Amino acid sequence: MAAITTTPGAHHDAEDPNASFLEKKGLMSWLVTLDHKRIGIMYLISVMIAFALGGIFALLVRAELLTQGKTLMDADTYNKMFSLHGVVMVFLFIIPSIPAAMGNIILPIQLGAKDVAFPRLNLLSLYIYWFGACFGLYSMINGGVDTGWTFYTPYSSSDPALGGVGSSTSVIPMTLAAFIMGFSSILTGVNFIATVHKMRAPGLTWRRLTLFTWALYSTSIIQVLATPVLAITLLLLTMERFLGLGIFDPRLGGDPVLFQHFFWFYSHPAVYIMIVPGMGVVSDIIATFSRREPVGYMAIAASSLGLALLGFLVWGHHLFVAGMSEYATMVFSALTFLVAIPSGVKVFNWVATLYKGSISLQSPMLWALSFIFLFTIGGLTGLFLGMLAVDVHLHDTYFVVAHFHYVMVGGTVMGFVGGLHYWWPKFTGKMYDEAPAKAGWFFVFVGFNITFIAQFIMGSRGMPRRYYDYLPEYEIFHQISTVGSWVLGFGFVIILYVLVKSLMSGKPAPRNPWGSAALEFQTPTPPPTFNFVKDPVLTRGQYDYQLATEDELYEGFDDPLFPGIRGGKPAAKPAAAAEGEKE
Amino acid sequence: MSSEATAGAHAGDHGDGHGDGHGHHGPKWLAHHFDTPAQQFDAAKLGMWVFLAQELLFFSGLFVAYGVYRSWYPEMFKAASHQLDKIMGGTNTIVLLFSSFTAAMAVRSSQLGKQKETGRYLLVTILCAFGFLVIKYFEYQHKFEAGLLPSRYFHPHMDHLVAGSAPLPANTGTFFGIYFMMTGVHGVHVIVGIGVLIWIYLRNQRGDFSKEFFTPVDIAALYWHLVDLVWIYLFPLLYLV
């Protein structure tokens, strides 16, 4: 039998328990569902709408900067555009994207569980996310915010209507939006931690978890420990603006830098909420498309936890020029360099996995490889910024903008879109067209690099971030960057087309289109409501291509329906190994 | 190899025991996606502890703000804290400690399957929680009357201040900003706790719980202990400086 054995079980449910989770129709069946996959898909749709919205804001910002002076909008509108781009992308897209959307769909299946530990809580966190998004939309309709996504005090906390000199935009609803969405993030984290600890299938030891699961587990720890600090910070900011507490507003005796400490105590770990799940996706994709167990499996898993831990110790590097003591800056600088260790461990292990792997360059793999490429650039430029003296020059320039886009877009978006392609057949039951999907990847990859390499250069030459206007010598870089953003945007339009076309007229997907050994590809496509027809019992790891049987690996491979997919025999003869697993 | 053997043995157990997890396979309070009551209980307990860790970090922001301003303005903190009513705060401490005790007793009696007793203990806990809020209301009222409000609205009326108190230094409004935030956020937790306890009380009266299934009582009491715990820190920090 298969290495992942199953136990027989009778089903007493009135409905066919083996029907696909997409079977039930009607809006209400979605809105009140407790099925993690359906909740995940609702999350997926929500975050993709947010991504489109944030992307449009980004294109508008870049279009405004195409020429010197006023190109498209006035300075106030421009300030709102880049603020909304940041707020929408960070709070509505990046943070919930991989954990809440893909994690919800895939994590319980990879654990061999029927659902997450607290299905009702899961639905609640989706509703809280929507509720928060409503506040955000209200703020946008109500004029938006011009504080940047960081809501720095005293600009955000001081209300001109009450005699202050700060922002007169609708800061309170936007802050509350982020506050509320924080709860959604926390509840998802609590749910995932309990799920990973308590819901694993028999035989699924910690060493047999997928690296995606490890990454989500690490992320959940950060979500639970960091997000409440942001929550209380934003609550304090709201109250400062509303009641004049005197904590952040210097006119009332407060300290605006304290806000930055609080804010970055969350927001630096939040960078790892953004990047670590992407790393998990990439680890899974690279293993599958190299047909190899990841080299240094435990090192990759441990480095996820390491990043989660170190993320809490480095927030001070955002305040190098904000007036900390020089000893504090030195300590934070040194701690910041430590982040390079787990990051490097991951990158070297991925590359080592590729070495002598049986690589097939399907579109998910292209996204994963570009993740490594972009993340490496993003990570190395982070060292420039962690270095005290260099940071004084580069602080708040476009260099920083390019750096965090390489990490966050190069990390989260590559991971997200790669994972979307990788698991798309599994949770929609439809294949997509490989050739246009690759074209979409090409435009995104090229457009992204054009956009942000130009920003690295102008940043290193002193172009400050957030500015509405600039000196003539920067114009050429802004123009290159803006043209790059159009290429980038065009790439995403192609991807949207590919995915929509797949939903409309895609060929039905096989159980295991990529020949993966992981658990989620051993269940029918799309999975039944309880994920498995029979409760799985694991007798091998989820990357164990040596022990995986032909049955597990090759359905869908060499299928006449999918001529584009690479066939061939497995590297090791699995049959003999599987023989020993027979019960 | 040895780990595979273990997994195989585990697989055998699983097959003999509860292979069917999809249908109705246990007591009605066992959710569909759990295999055993123990798994359900453990998951709930772990989830709650993780949530409580989150709660502590939520309050930690306020404690850090407190620490920062206290170290900057020690005299101001000393003078301002004299304006708080130690008697009322102390009474509230005792009320909350007692309610935590009754919450623990409610769990105990629920574990023993004594439904009536559980109900009575829960009722006392809820009453104490209301008592806490009533006392808090009088405290707040006094602060409003005396003009002891957060910075922007801080206009102390000398005749309402505690007799014989030292003159209030500059920035005293910041202390009251912190005071109202800390006690206010804690008060919201008390209100949420009342809601949770009433819900648990109603479920207990309906007969949802038994010797075998008392998880919700246990979880709600854990939450209530946290509310109590936070107050135990707030009281000395704010009132007894």
This complex has an ipTM of 0.87
Backbone angles phi, psi at B19, to 5 degrees: -65, -35
Chain A residue numbers with beta carbons less than 8 Å from the beta carbon of B150 are: 239, 243-246
One-letter-per-residue 3-state SS of A190-217:
HHHHHHHHHCCCCCCCHHHCCHHHHHHH
Integer Cα distance of A82 and A330 in angstroms: 32
Give the best residue of B25, B51, B70, B148 to mutate against chain A (max A CB count within 10 A).
B51
Length of chain A: 583
Contact A232 B11 (CB under 8 A): no
**Are A529 and A17 contacting, i.e. CB atoms less than 8 angstroms apart?**
yes
DSSP A14-59: SS-TTSBTT---SHHHHHT---HHHHHHHHHHHHHHHHHHHHHHHH
User: Residue A186 carries which DSSP code?
Assistant: H
From chain B, the residues in CB contact with A115 under 8 A are 32-33
Structure token digits, residue B202:
């109603």
Tell me if residue A560 falls in helix, strand or coil: coil
Query: What is the C-alpha separation between B183 and B237, in angstroms, rounded?
Result: 11
Identify the three-state secondary structure at position B89.
helix
Nearest by Cα to A571 from A284, A286, A298, A356? A356
DSSP A68-119: SS-SSS-HHHHHHHHHHHHHIIIIIIIHHIIIIIIIHHHHHHHTT-SS-S-H
Facing A247 at nearest CB: one of B54, B57, B65: B65
pLDDT tens series, chain A, 583 aa: 344 544 444 344 445 667 888 888 888 999 999 999 999 999 999 999 999 999 999 999 999 999 999 999 999 999 999 999 999 999 999 999 999 999 999 999 999 999 999 999 999 999 999 999 999 999 999 999 999 999 998 899 988 888 788 888 899 999 999 999 999 999 999 999 999 999 999 999 999 999 999 999 999 999 999 999 999 999 999 999 988 898 998 888 889 999 999 999 999 999 999 999 999 999 999 999 998 999 999 999 999 999 999 999 999 999 999 988 899 999 999 999 999 999 999 999 999 999 988 888 999 999 999 999 999 999 999 999 999 999 999 999 999 999 999 999 888 999 999 999 999 999 999 999 999 999 999 999 999 999 999 999 999 999 999 999 999 999 999 999 999 999 999 999 999 999 999 999 999 998 888 889 999 999 988 999 889 988 899 988 899 888 888 778 776 554 444 444 444 444 443 443 444 443 3
3-state secondary structure at position A464: strand
Closest partner residue to A193 (CB to CB) among B11, B39, B50 is B50
Give the position of tokens 């940071």: A391
Residue A431 contacts residue A562 (beta carbons within 8 Å): yes
Return the DSSP state at A410: I
A315 interaction partners in chain B (CB closer than 8 Å): none
* Per-residue CA distances from B61 to A95, A115, B55 (Å): 21, 34, 11
Contacts of B53 in chain A (CB under 8 A): 224-225
Strand (E) or helix (H) holding A538 = strand A536-538
Q: Which residue has the tokens 């009754």?
A: B102
**In a 3-state reduction of DSSP, which class is residue B82?**
coil
Could you give the CA distance from residue B85 to residue A123 in angstroms, rounded to a whole number? 44
Cis, peptide link before residue A526, omega less than 30° from 0: yes
Q: Report the alpha-carbon distance of residue B36 to residue B18 in Å, rounded.
A: 8
Judged by CB atoms within 8 Å, which residues 143-172 of B form the interface with A?
Answer: 149-154, 170-171
Q: Could you tell me if A248 and A258 are in contact, meaning their C-beta atoms sit under 8 angstroms apart?
A: yes
Residue A15 one-letter amino acid: E
B130, B194 contact by CB (below 8 A) = yes
CA distance B71 to chain A (A): 13
Residue labelled with tokens 């003296």:
A389
Q: How far apart are CA A285 and CA A292, in angstroms?
A: 11
List the structure tokens of A278: 């992407």
B191: contact with A, CB 8 A cutoff: no
Chain A positions touching B7 (Cβ under 8 A) are: 202-203, 205, 537-539
**Residue of B33, B61, B174 with shortest CB distance to A229:** B61
Tokens of A242: 């509303």
